[in-house]
């Protein structure tokens, strides 16, 4: 089908574009970008009324849970959640059962994603760096890349062994594919369930110290400098870790990082013992850490916003705080939280938001998208003025575990276009 998107505010940081225009798509390819493109009865016309048309958003950090944990989420429900969140692509983490540590599992995930929702969402598996994510035996990373994996990680488990991490970084350089680290020193985290500080002492909960993350990030950056590897810090959460990444960038090392909306929005003061939706790993940190994260977003040290969408069933989250699993869902609140807490407060611009949710993460995994004549059409549509209240029961995700229930937000995706398919979520 051929589509004429009319009167959209086209914002594409990769081409330094911000203007009201029409975009004509014929057979999935952008044929023309111009004001007042002549109408043709063969075009399906979509009047965007000056809503934003941006390069398709991608989430670098999503847990689809399939195979093995389909009671939490499936490829079908997770990608539907992505559609309503405004994402055209998700990168799914390998802490499944079995782990994504061989080509067959990776290819099965890709194949299934092309069937659900007419294949509108691109699903890119992230391969387990080590066998069964145990940190002991290196996987065949070349084979995983050839099967469609766009990065490697043992997410949920840190890669602690120095020699194994060094070898992975060497291969990441050779394969031009990033290693994503869940940065945590387990011997320091121990059985911690929230940030170690005054609030954890008040709640009598075992804390996870900043040093658990900081020491691992520092070690990894030193190894990245030695190997020239392609290193990415997942869900960064501490002041010193942000500073280590800033320093690495000043040395022109191939080091990047991501932050979640919950880490730039909330602090450990928000944690409530009776609300396990405030439990995540890394934990909500102090206001000092949160402010450092905001500054890192402002100055470009933090290049990527990713959700760490981590669905869990209501029964699992109903356990005592100490026993409940870490994690929250995030796909359907990411844009609203980013516009409300960053754009509306003048910390970043709309263009910089699009960089952090599309341009930059796509560059890191070599899946670039731009809105230009001759390019494949892949769009996220956004109403930055749309005001709404979070209602987790309306989430398309199978799980509803969010700390943001009843939050009033501004900004929401109103639809996506990808792989020749259009899905409008808000009229």
What's the CATH code of the domain at 346?
Answer: 3.20.20.140
- For residue 308, indicate whether it is catalytic: yes
In a domain, 13, yes or no: no
Please give the model's pTM, rounded to 2 decimal places.
0.98
Q: What is the rounded average pLDDT of the residues 261-290?
A: 98
Q: What is the rounded average pLDDT of the residues 98-104?
A: 96
Q: Which domain holds residue 195?
A: 57-364
In a domain, 206, yes or no: yes
In a domain, 166, yes or no: yes
Three-class secondary structure of residue 305 per DSSP: strand
Please tell me which residue in 268, 308, 315, 427 is annotated as part of the active site.
308
Predicted confidence (pLDDT) at residue 271 exceeds the cutoff of 90 = yes
In a domain, 412, yes or no: no
Say what the pLDDT of residue 41 is: 86
- Tally of domains within the chain: 1
Q: Give the count of alpha carbons within 13 A of 207, CB side only.
A: 18
In a domain, 335, yes or no: yes
In a domain, 149, yes or no: yes
In a domain, 415, yes or no: no
Closest by alpha carbon to 415, among 389, 386, 391, 392? 386
What are residue 71's DSSP bridge partners?
A: none
Say what the pLDDT of residue 426 is: 78
In a domain, 95, yes or no: yes
What are residue 23's DSSP bridge partners?
A: 5, 33
168 and 141 Cβ atoms separated by less than 8 Å? yes
Measured between its terminal Cα atoms, the distance across the chain in Å is 20
pLDDT tens digits along 22-54: 999 999 999 999 999 998 888 999 999 999 999
* Largest distance between two CA atoms of the chain: 67
Say what the pLDDT of residue 40 is: 87
| Number of other residues whose CB lies within 10 A of the CB of residue 239 | 19
Say what the pLDDT of residue 427 is: 60
pLDDT tens digits along 138-186: 999 999 999 999 999 999 999 999 999 999 999 999 999 999 999 999 9
Residue 194 phi, psi (nearest 5) = -155, 175
Mean pLDDT taken over the chain: 97
116 and 76 Cβ atoms separated by less than 8 Å? yes
User: Distance (Å, rounded) from C-alpha 387 to C-alpha 408?
Assistant: 7
> Cα angle at 110 between 107 and 115, to 5 degrees?
130
Three-class secondary structure of residue 27 per DSSP: coil
């Amino acid at each position: 089908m051929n589509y004429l998107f009319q009167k959209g505010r086209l914002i594409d940081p990769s081409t330094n574009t911000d203007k009201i225009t029409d975009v004509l798509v014929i057979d999935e390819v952008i044929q023309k970008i111009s004001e007042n493109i002549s109408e043709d009865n063969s075009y399906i016309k979509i009047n965007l009324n000056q809503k934003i048309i941006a390069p398709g958003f991608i989430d670098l950090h999503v847990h689809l849970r399939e195979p093995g944990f389909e009671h939490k989420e499936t490829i079908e429900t997770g990608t539907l959640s992505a559609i309503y969140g405004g994402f055209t692509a998700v990168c799914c983490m390998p802490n499944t059962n079995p782990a994504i540590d061989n080509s067959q599992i990776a290819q099965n995930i890709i194949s299934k994603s092309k069937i659900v929702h007419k294949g509108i969402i691109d699903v890119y598996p992230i391969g387990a760096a080590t066998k069964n994510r145990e940190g002991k035996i290196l996987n065949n990373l070349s084979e995983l890349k050839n099967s469609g994996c766009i990065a490697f990680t043992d997410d949920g488990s840190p890669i602690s062994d120095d020699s194994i991490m060094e070898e992975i970084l060497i291969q990441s350089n050779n394969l031009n594919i990033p290693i994503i680290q869940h940065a945590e020193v387990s011997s320091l985290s121990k059985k911690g369930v929230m940030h170690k500080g005054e609030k954890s002492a008040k709640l009598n909960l075992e804390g996870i110290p900043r040093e658990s993350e900081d020491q691992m990030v520092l070690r990894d950056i030193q190894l990245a400098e030695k190997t020239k590897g392609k290193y990415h810090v997942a869900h960064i959460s501490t002041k010193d870790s942000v500073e280590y990444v800033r320093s690495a960038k000043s040395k022109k090392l191939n080091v990047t990082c991501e932050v979640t909306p919950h880490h730039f929005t909330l602090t450990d003061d928000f944690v409530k013992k009776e609300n396990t939706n405030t439990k995540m790993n890394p934990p909500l940190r102090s206001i000092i850490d949160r402010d450092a994260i905001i500054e890192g977003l402002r100055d470009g040290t933090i290049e990527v916003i990713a959700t760490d969408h981590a669905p869990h069933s209501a029964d699992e989250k109903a356990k005592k705080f100490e026993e409940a699993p870490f994690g929250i869902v995030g796909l359907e609140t990411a844009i609203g939280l980013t516009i409300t807490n960053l754009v509306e407060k003048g910390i970043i611009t709309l263009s910089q938001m699009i960089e952090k949710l599309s341009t930059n993460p796509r560059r890191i995994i070599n899946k670039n998208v731009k809105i230009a004549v001759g390019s494949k059409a892949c769009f996220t549509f956004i109403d930055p003025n749309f005001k709404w209240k979070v209602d987790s029961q309306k989430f398309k995700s199978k799980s509803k575990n969010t700390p943001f229930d009843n939050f009033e937000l501004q900004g929401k995706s109103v639809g996506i276009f990808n792989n020749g398919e259009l899905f409008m979520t808000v009229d």
